[in-house]
Amino acid sequence: MENEKIMAVFNKIKKLTSEDKLIWKEEADGKTFYTSVNDYKVYIGKSVGTISFELFNHQNEGIGLLEFGGYSPDTKGLDTFYEYVRKKVLNIDDGLDDLLQQLDQLD
């Protein structure tokens, strides 16, 4: 039951992120991103080949975890979502567009 609820939260977070209803921010390590929903925090990060999706309550206690490359079997789309959040927060597409423009000017 707990895994089903965590997956439901994950799917809702993915949906709201794609609709630009959640704003993600970067942690200092550059590989972890977070968003807040009222007093709850959601983190997604990559470390040593494992992607973790973690949920914390208002007392900063962990209340849910999904992993890709770890032990959790319920990771459908976690790696893809991590890349989506990373590209969105770091404005990678905008950076690539800008680089292409600058290269075109040198042409």
Percent of the chain at pLDDT above 90? 56
- Residue with the larger pLDDT of the pair 6 and 72: 6
The residue assigned the tokens 């925090």 is 41
pTM: 0.81
Tens digits of residue pLDDT in 62-90 = 999 998 885 655 567 888 999 999 988 98
Average pLDDT for residues 15-40, to the nearest whole number? 95
Pair 30, 36: CB distance under 8 Å: no
> Any residues with CB less than 8 A from the CB of 43 and at least 6 apart, and which?
27, 32, 33, 34, 52, 53, 54, 56
